[in-house]
Amino acid sequence: MTDWYFFSIAALVLLGAQRFLYKVAAERNCSSALTTAVFMGTVTLLSGAAFLASGESAGEISTLVVLALVNSASFALATVAHMEALKHLPATVTFPITRLSILVVIFFSIVYFGERPQPLQMAGMLLGLSVVFVFAGEAGDKSGRRGNPRTGFLFAAACVLCGAVASISSKFAAVSTSKAGFMALSYLLGTLFALALERKNRGGKSPWVKSGEAVWIGLCMGVLNFFGFYAFLTALESGPLSVIALITGMHFVIAVALSVLLYRERMTPRRILGIGLTLLAVAFLQL
């Protein structure tokens, strides 16, 4: 097994496990904002230590700050929206839909960078849109639900848009700033943003009251995210981008599989079709 393939699989498993913890937080009714704050705070400490140890330059400070502000706010909102969506929709529906943020990223790339997708990529975009219509039928099925499906779809849509903004800002940061410095500052700002949102939700009360589970889940998320991202970057040092991006892009399947196994979520024909279409869409979009 080549090194890049090993690290790609490691990133797939680690990031998939992190996404599954979104489901755990939702099932335990943890505060989404507080869990996100702890998760981002953990990554801030780890990435900050890595940045200081590397000794690399932070690049243009003004550019770094602007991109970090945009990225932190969008990623924090995407994370909170993702966990809130899981309180209203099954993981087998939520994870595939939120993965479709790549459609927004590709559309931006076409308009802003003048990129032209290949025929298979166009097919992937159409498949991705079809997934939304397949899962839209879930809104009419209220069996075994504790939330409002329509509310869940709204949160999922917000997650898609915010996730796309986070990805696009990361692209700009990757070519113009220090990656480690950007990651540390972005996650720090995201932590503060999530804490402010949590405090507002609690009406100004301390966010740490009755927060034990949210803290532990957030810590685990942060550790998994940091090492998963590190494995992804290590794989990219020597392996092909198209293959590695395809492998790691399947991380939501790990989260769905764990949700089915541990939370006994039903795999209906509609959900199987939706997941299958998503896998095909992501595969075509990476070609």
Q: Positive or negative, the Cα torsion across 120, 175, 180, 33?
A: negative
pLDDT value of residue 205:
53
Give the closest residue to 53 by CA, choosing from 204, 180, 189, 160.
180
pLDDT value of residue 263:
83
- This prediction has a pTM of 0.71
Q: Are 278 and 128 in contact (CB under 8 A)?
A: yes
Residues 170, 188: Cα–Cα separation, whole Å:
15
Residues 98, 164: Cα–Cα separation, whole Å:
10
pLDDT value of residue 262:
86
Integer-rounded Cα radius of gyration of the chain: 18
Q: Are 168 and 115 in contact (CB under 8 A)?
A: no
Instruction: Show the tokens assigned to 5.
Output: 């393939």
CA distances for 91 relative to 39, 88, 256, angstroms:
20, 10, 6
CA dihedral 204, 210, 211, 214 (to 10 degrees): -120
Residues 268, 201: Cα–Cα separation, whole Å:
35
Residues 262, 283: Cα–Cα separation, whole Å:
27
Other residues' Cβ atoms within 10 Å of the Cβ of residue 232: 21
CA distances for 143 relative to 16, 147, 149, 265, angstroms:
27, 11, 11, 12
pLDDT value of residue 144:
47
pLDDT tens digit at each of 287 positions of the chain: 568 888 888 988 999 999 899 889 888 888 888 888 899 899 999 999 988 888 777 778 888 899 989 988 898 888 889 888 988 888 778 877 887 787 787 778 778 877 676 787 778 778 877 877 777 666 555 544 556 888 989 999 999 999 889 888 877 887 777 777 888 898 898 888 888 877 777 665 554 445 788 889 999 999 999 998 778 877 776 776 656 766 777 777 788 788 888 887 777 787 788 778 877 877 776 65
